[in-house]
Amino acid sequence: MNIDLSAEALDFGAAALGAFASAGGDEIVETAERDPVGRAAAVEPILTELGAWELEPRGDADELEAAAALCRSAGYWAVPYPIAERLARPADLDVDALVVVSDHDPSATIAGLDLTLVAVSLTGRRSRAIAVPSDESPRTSGFVSRLQLDPLDEHGADDVALGLVLPVWTLLGMLDRALELTRAHVLLREQFGRPLAQLQGVQFQLTDAEVERAGVEILAKYALWSIESGHAEALDDALALRLAAIEAADIVFRVAHQLHGASGFCDETTLSWLSRHSLAMRRLPVGLSGTGEALTRHLGRRGLTGLFGAAEQTTQVREVVAP
């Protein structure tokens, strides 16, 4: 079993990272908050030039890995556009994007975008979706819009796994950046005459956060491999990945904010923007408890397999990723 991304996928992700940087980097999300109507015009040309919409992640393993790498690069810059949702669109419907939603209060980060949507519940029920207009500022809403659903069919079981896994790759990119920013901060700031990075307590916190981030990276690769291989347990793996990713994000952003101090909540600090726009991914379609409940309900009396299985395997993953 080889869960590493191909060299081509990694190269594509690096190219995407550079393209977003050249297009403004952190300014992309800042501009989108000020002008939410223009966010599509700012982001879509970059994706078109990269050839993002030519990817067919459902039909080719290499292109699925390239899609994951693209989502991770977008997350690094907190690009305010539903890239993962567009890449997850089903092949049997003429729609622009697929969003996984909860049965209660279905919502997605598609406010202000002219996209045709299909929504799929965690149980595989698909619906046509229309965004409900809202006057709420993207600063507080994170571009989240409620959806009106028109039931379509019950054939979305295969859509759910991909619809859950690709957004986690976006969240992984956010965790990459949050830790990068925090490392730079503690190397620069001094306390008691020496850099914060030299304090043992700070080192312990950063190590804990990095173990969580690296663990999610390994599990994200495994869940992607599970989809590539057509495993019957792909949805189990996707739900377990999302559960682990939400838990890890809570820890990583808590550590990042603690070590940044008050400045981490100010818009002058990039971490503030990154943290704020990660919330929708951590809460939708369901949060930590809802994801755990969905996983428990789906598994029934079965157990998880592979990297998500026995406690001994989880321990091995932590030993691998520990610095």
Q: C-alpha 226: how far from its chain's center? A: 18
Model pLDDT for residues 68-81, shown as the tens digit of each residue: 999 999 999 999 99
What does pTM read for this prediction?
Answer: 0.92
What residues contact 273, with CB distance under 8 A and at least 6 apart?
26, 29, 30, 78, 267
pLDDT-based confidence at residue 202 (cuts at 50, 70, 90)? confident
What is the distance, to the nearest Å, from the Cα of residue 30 to the centroid of all Cα atoms in its chain? Answer: 19
pLDDT 10s digits, 130-180: 999 888 888 889 999 999 999 999 888 889 999 999 999 999 999 999 999
The rounded distance, in Å, linking the Cα atoms of 46 and 52 is 9
Rounded Cα distance between 166 and 75, Å, is: 11
| CA pair distance 244, 216, nearest whole angstrom | 7
Total residues belonging to the chain: 323
Average pLDDT, the chain: 90
Residue for token pair 């932590």: 318
Spatial CA neighbour of 152 closest among 181, 180, 129 = 129
Query: What mean pLDDT do residues 36-50 have?
Result: 93
- Residue 16 has a pLDDT of 97
Residue 201 binned pLDDT confidence (cut-offs 50, 70, 90):
confident
Average of per-residue pLDDT across 282-295:
94
Residue 220's pLDDT is 97
- Helices 288-299 and 234-260 cross at an angle (nearest 10°) of 160
97 near 52, Cβ under 8 Å?
no
Regarding predicted confidence, which is higher, 255 or 312?
Answer: 255
Q: Specify the range with the lowest mean pLDDT, choosing from 110-124, 166-180, 197-211, 243-257.
A: 197-211
Q: What pLDDT is stored for residue 192 in this prediction?
A: 67
Identify the CATH homologous superfamily for domain 159-321. Butyryl-CoA Dehydrogenase, subunit A, domain 3 (1.20.140.10)
Domain boundaries, the chain: 159-321
pLDDT at 309: 63
Alpha carbon 21 to its chain centroid, in Å, reads 19
Residues whose CB is less than 8 angstroms from the CB of residue 298 and which lie 6 or more positions away in sequence, other chains included: 122, 235, 236, 239
Q: Is 191 exposed, middle or buried (0-12, 13-18, 19+ CB in 10 A)?
A: exposed
Q: How much is the CA Rg of the chain, to the nearest whole Å?
A: 19
Residue 308 confidence class, pLDDT cut points 50, 70, 90: low
Mean per-residue pLDDT for 7-12?
A: 96
pLDDT band at 261 (very low <50, low <70, confident <90, very high): confident
pLDDT greater than 70 at residue 82? yes
Q: Which of 1-10, 112-121, 203-212, 297-306 comes out lowest in average pLDDT?
A: 297-306
Average pLDDT of the segment spanning 260-284 = 88
266 DSSP assignment: S
Compute the average pLDDT of residues 223-229: 93
At 271, list the tokens: 């971490």
Degrees to nearest 5, angle at CA 240 with 234 and 241: 85
